[in-house]
Amino acid sequence: MNPVAGGSASPGGAGGPGPAGAGATERALDRTIGRVLQWGIGASIALLVVGVILMIAGGIDPLGPPPPPFDVAALGRGLRTVQPEAFLWLGLIVTIATPSLRVIASLVGFGRAGDRRMVLVSAGILTVIVASVALGSTVG
Amino acid sequence: MIAGLLMAVSGAGAGLFGSLLGLGGGILIVPLLTLGFGLPLREAVGVSLVSVIVTSSAAAGVYLERHVANLRLGMTLELFTATGALVGGLVAFALPDRVLAGLFALLLAYTAVIMLRRSLSRSSGSSPEASSIDGAAGAAVAGPTAEVGFVASLGGPTYRVLRFPFGIVGSIFAGLVSALLGVGGGIVKVPLMNLAMGVPLRVATATSNLMIGITASASAIVYFLRGGIDPYIAAPTAIGVFIGATAGSRLAHRVDVRVLRVLFIVVLAYTAWEMFTKALS
C-alpha cells in the first residue's frame, strides 16, 4: 500500500521556521497522521473488497438497478446478515471520513503542542466538513 | 458482473497511467465512466471523488511519514480548498450535465497543452520544472516579498512561503474545480504552490496530495448524502484505481514515460473532443 514513488526523506515543513521546538513535534505528528491515513485507507479498501466479493457472489451487475438508498439503521443489520451493500456503504463512509480523522488527529496533536493557530486552522477545516454534512443533507 | 470487472480493470489503467505521468486518476476516470460506461457525468464525478480520496490519502500517508509534505501549509490552504469544494459540490447539483461536460472538456484540453509543453521543453533539452523549482525556491528565501508572522511559520527549512493571499484565491478555485469535475485538483495546486508561492516542486506535489483528501471529501460528502455515489460502481473502480496507482508508483523509476506521455496527450485531446461534443449534443 504505497502509491508514492520511492525516494529518500526530504524536509517538507517539519523543522521549518515555525514555533520553537516545532520541528520534533511536527515530525512526530507527521508520523501519527501518516499512520491514520494509511490505516484508514487500508480499512476502507478491505471493506470495499469484501463488498465487491459479495457482489460477485450475489451476481449483482453494477450497471443494473441501483442499490437501496443509504440508511444508517439498516447498516448494522446489513453487516450482521452479510449484505454486500452494507460493506460497500461502510467502505465508502470510512473512505470519505479518513481525511477528517486525519484533521482530528492534527487538532489533538497541535493542541498538545500548544500551537493555537494550527488548532484554529484544524477546527476551521472540521467546521467546513460539518457544514458539508449539514448542507448536503438539507439543501437542494 | 463483467461490467464490474471492466470497471476495476479500467480503474487500474487510469490509476497506473495517472501515477506514471504524475496526474491523479480522476482526469481519466470521469471520461472513462461517462464515455465508456454511459454513466451520467455527475454520477461519474461522485465515483471519481471516492477514487481520488483513496489514492491521495494513501500517498499522503507515505509522504508524511517521510516528512516530505508540509503539514502546516497543506492544512492552512486546505481550509480554503475545502470551502471551495463545499460550494462546488452544491453548485454541481444545480448545473446541467452539458455544462459540466463542457467544463471537463476545457480541463482536459488545458492538461493536454500543459503536458505537450513539458514534452517539447524536455525534448529541446531545457527543463522548465527544474529551473522553476530552483528559481522559485531561491526567490522565496531571498525575495523581498517573503511573508512574516503566521505565514512565515508555514515555510520549510530551505524556503519561505510567498504571495499567501494569491494562494488563498487559487486554493478556493482548486476546490471548486475538484468538486465540479471530480479531480484532485493537483493540476492547479502544484503550479500554484511551486511557481506562485515558492514551494519546491517535490514538497508542493506531496503537500497537494495531502490537501486533495480533505478537498475531495468536503464535496464527496455532499454527493454521498444526495445519492450521487453508486457503491456498486464506486467500489470496483476505486479498488482498481488504488491497485493501478500502487503499481505505477513502483514502476515509475523503471519506465520510460516519453512515449507514454505522447500517447496520453493524444488520448486527452481525443477525450476533450468527445466531451466537447457531448456538451454540444
Residue A35 belongs to a domain: yes
Asked if A134 reaches chain B (Cβ–Cβ under 8 Å), the answer is no
Residue A52 belongs to a domain: yes
Asked if B203 reaches chain A (Cβ–Cβ under 8 Å), the answer is yes
- A to B CB pairs, distance under 8 Å: 274
Q: What is the ipTM of this complex?
A: 0.84
pLDDT confidence tier of residue B129, bands split at 50, 70 and 90 = very low
3-state secondary structure chain B: CHHHHHHHHHHHHHHHHHHHCCCCCHHHHHHHHHHHCCCCHHHHHHHHHHHHHHHHHHHHHHHHHCCCCCHHHHHHHHHHHHHHHHHHHHHHCCCCHHHHHHHHHHHHHHHHHHHHHHHHHHHCCCCHHHHHHHHHHHHHHHCCCCCCCCHHHHCECCECCCCHHHHHHHHHHHHHHHHHHCCCCHHHHHHHHHHHCCCCHHHHHHHHHHHHHHHHHHHHHHHHHCCCCCHHHHHHHHHHHHHHHHHHHHHCCCCCHHHHHHHHHHHHHHHHHHHHHHHHC
For residue A3, list chain B residues with Cβ-Cβ distance below 8 A: 19, 55, 58-59, 62, 242, 245-246, 248-249
Q: Tens digit of pLDDT for each residue in A44-63? A: 999 999 999 999 998 888 88
Q: Tens digit of pLDDT for each residue in B217-257? A: 999 999 999 988 999 999 999 999 999 888 887 776 777 76
Report the pLDDT value the prediction gives residue A18, as an integer from 0 to 100: 43
* Number of domains within chain A: 1
Residue A11 belongs to a domain: no
Residue A10 belongs to a domain: no
Report the pLDDT value the prediction gives residue B6, as an integer from 0 to 100: 86
Q: What is the mean pLDDT of residues B130-147?
A: 41
Indicate the domain borders of chain B. Answer: 2-280
Residue A28 belongs to a domain: yes
What residue numbers bound the domain in which A46 lies? 24-138
| Arithmetic mean of pLDDT over chain A | 83
Residue A53 belongs to a domain: yes
Report the pLDDT value the prediction gives residue B139, as an integer from 0 to 100: 40
Residue A16 belongs to a domain: no
Find the residue in A nearest to B83 (Cα): A128
Q: Give percent of chain A with pLDDT exceeding 90.
A: 51
Residue A4 belongs to a domain: no
Identify which of B11-15, B190-194, B237-241, B267-271 has the greatest average pLDDT: B237-241
To the nearest whole Å, the CA of B279 is away from the closest chain A CA by 23
Q: What is the mean pLDDT of residues B266-279?
A: 84
